[in-house]
């Protein structure tokens, strides 16, 4: 429906756009101010919830990771934990630690990707966009050494992990982490305190605490507005109970705050990996699980890099799940983006900075 006020035109900030990714926002604007953002879902809908009903549990992990492949470990963990919750499977201690390590590697990987894109959304072709890609290579090599694949690990199975830590992994990981900490200093100096980045991101796309809760933002977008909700602290799943790390929360709720939350979370992730490597318990890394699981209902909440992903699994006694319902964090973040013009003033030139500060993953939203 074309809004009647004169001079409003509809622009499709659409799938065919340098900064939009596989998604379309219909902006109602008068050339400068954006009055309404209408999200248009469904460009990358693959019907993963239907595919999962045709796959056994171990086979189902491979398509499930395609929901947010950049953060494959955390997403895979959500499905596996939901099945384990439904069938009350206990995971050995060592497997929990290995899972935590791979999840944090995947989180750093995803946050680096998000920071690179957010920097490029602000404009030009800043060097930090390429540095993040170069530094991600090291974490991809770490994951490759542990699981055998760089992106889609499919390393978690109900009952544990598929393989043990290879020898030499700990030394290489510690070396990569110390290198990464020095690189984070270079990022902070060249970008976080960058005066022009601050003018482009401070105070833009402000999301207050009540709105963040009421509209249902997720992950760094929620913690950027001062809400203290991090599933790793909430449920203390896997080995997060025994590892001490701080929750990154910022008060202002603007693009810079969300960017800062991701940056601090990367620092915390390096500390988590170090502690997990230090006190890695001995013992088995996998518990045999029968292919057919008893009838039941399972629910899992995992803090992926984009936010809290909730998976509700219903088993009917066969070796395939009866129904898998995924509450994707990017679905909620995209919804919050569409409500932003009513909360704060957004110009057309702000749209990429605001969108990429929520770091939406469109495949995750469309399922």
Partner 1 sequence: MTWSEEDIIKAVTENFKELVTESKVLKPKRISITVKPDGLVSVATFLRDSLGFDHPLGAGAIDYPAENKMQMVYYLWSVSKRTIVMLKADTPRDNPKLPTLSGVWDQMNLHEREAWEMFGIVFEGHPKLERLLLPEDWEEGVYPLRKDYKLPER
Partner 2 sequence: MKPSEVKQGLLKPYAVVFKHVFKKPHTLMYPYERLKFAPRYRGFITVDLEKCNGCGMCARTCPDKCIELVEVPGRKYKYPKIDYNYCCFCGLCVDSCFRGALSKTELVELSAYRREDLVVRPEDAKPKPIESVSPMLKRFVAVKIVDDNITYEEVR
Partner 3 sequence: MAELPIPIPLPLPDWIIEFIALNWETLLKIAIIPGLAFILLFELIAVWFERKFLADAMLRIGPLYCGRVAGWLQLIADALKLTIKEVFAPKGAHKLLFYAVPIVAPTIPALAVVLIPFGPDWILFRASGAGLLLFFALTSLIPVTTILAGWGSNNKYTIIGALRSAYLYIAAEMPLFIAAAGVVILAGTFDLVKIVELQSKMWFAIPQFIGFIVFFIAMLGASERVPFDIPVAEQELVLGWRTEYTGIAFGLLMTIEYACLLAWSLLFITLYLGGYQGPPILGPGTASGIFWMLVKLGIVVAVAIFLRVVFPRYRIDQALRLGWRYLIPLALLNIFLTLAMKPYLLAMLQ
Residues that bind partner 3 (CB under 8 A): 11, 18-19, 31, 119, 121-127, 129-131, 134, 190, 194, 196-197, 199-200, 347-352
Cβ atoms of 350 and 45 closer than 8 Å: no
**149 part of the interface to partner 2, by CB under 8 A:** yes
Run of H or E including 38: strand 34-40
**339 part of the interface to partner 1, by CB under 8 A:** yes
**278 part of the interface to partner 1, by CB under 8 A:** no
Q: Which does 200 bind (CB under 5 to 8 A by kind): partner 1, partner 2, partner 3, none?
A: partner 3
- Residue selected from 74, 80, 332, 354 as contacting partner 1 according to rule CB under 8 A: 332
Q: Which does 30 bind (CB under 5 to 8 A by kind): partner 2, partner 1, partner 3, none?
A: none
Supply the minimum distance, in Å, between the C-beta of residue 60 and partner 2: 8
Give 70's Cβ-side CA count (13 Å radius). 20
**79 part of the interface to partner 1, by CB under 8 A:** no
Q: Which does 162 bind (CB under 5 to 8 A by kind): partner 2, partner 1, partner 3, none?
A: partner 2
**335 part of the interface to partner 1, by CB under 8 A:** yes
The answer for residues whose C-beta is within 8 angstroms of residue 222's C-beta and 6 or more apart is 212, 213, 229, 307
Which one, 138 or 313, has the nearer CB to partner 1? 313
Supply the minimum distance, in Å, between the C-beta of residue 335 and partner 1: 5
Q: Which stretch binds partner 2 (CB under 8 A): 30-38, 59-67, 105-113, 327-335?
A: 59-67
Q: Which does 332 bind (CB under 5 to 8 A by kind): partner 2, partner 1, partner 3, none?
A: partner 1
- Residue selected from 19, 21, 26, 194 as contacting partner 2 according to rule CB under 8 A: 194
DSSP state letters, 199-252: HHHTTSS---HHHHHHHT--THHHHTTT----HHHHT--TTTTTS-------SS
Closest by alpha carbon to 270, among 145, 112, 33?
A: 112
- For strands 156-157 and 296-304, give the pairing: unpaired
Q: In what order do the strands lie in the sheet with 24-29?
A: 9-13, 24-29, 34-40
The owner of tokens 């500390």 is 271
């Amino acid at each position: 429906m074309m809004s009647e006020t004169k001079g409003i035109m509809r622009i499709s900030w659409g799938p065919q756009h340098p900064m939009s990714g596989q998604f379309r926002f219909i902006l109602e604007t008068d050339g400068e101010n954006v009055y309404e953002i209408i999200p248009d879902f469904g460009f990358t809908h693959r019907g993963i919830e239907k595919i999962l009903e045709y796959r056994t549990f171990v086979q189902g992990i491979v398509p499930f990771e395609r929901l947010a492949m950049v953060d494959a470990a955390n997403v895979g963990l959500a499905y596996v934990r939901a099945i384990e919750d439904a069938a009350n499977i206990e995971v050995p201690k060592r497997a929990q630690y290995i899972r935590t390590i791979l999840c944090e590697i995947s989180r750093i990987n995803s946050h680096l990707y998000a920071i690179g894109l957010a920097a490029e959304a602000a404009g030009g072709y800043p060097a930090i966009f390429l540095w993040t890609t170069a530094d991600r290579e090291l974490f991809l090599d770490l994951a490759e050494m542990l699981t055998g694949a760089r992106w889609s690990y499919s390393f978690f199975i109900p009952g544990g992990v598929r393989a043990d830590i290879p020898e030499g992994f700990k030394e290489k990981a510690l070396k990569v982490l110390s290198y990464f900490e020095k690189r984070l200093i270079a990022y902070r100096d060249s970008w976080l305190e960058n005066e022009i980045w601050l003018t482009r991101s401070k105070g833009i796309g402000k999301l207050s605490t009540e709105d963040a809760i009421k509209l249902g933002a997720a992950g760094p977008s929620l913690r950027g507005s001062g809400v203290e909700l991090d599933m790793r602290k909430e449920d203390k799943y896997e080995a997060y109970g025994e590892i001490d790390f701080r929750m990154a929360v910022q008060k202002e709720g603007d693009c810079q705050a969300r960017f800062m939350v991701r940056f601090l979370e990367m620092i915390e992730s390096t500390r988590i990996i170090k502690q997990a490597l230090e006190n890695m318990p001995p013992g088995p890394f996998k518990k045999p699980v029968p292919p057919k699981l008893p009838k039941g209902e399972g629910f899992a909440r995992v803090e992926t890099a984009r936010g809290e992903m909730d998976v509700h699994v219903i088993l009917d006694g066969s070796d395939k799940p009866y129904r898998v319902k995924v509450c994707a964090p990017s679905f909620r973040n995209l919804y919050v983006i569409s409500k932003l013009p009513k909360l704060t003033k957004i110009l057309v030139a702000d749209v990429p900075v605001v969108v990429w500060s929520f770091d939406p993953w469109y495949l995750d939203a469309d399922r």
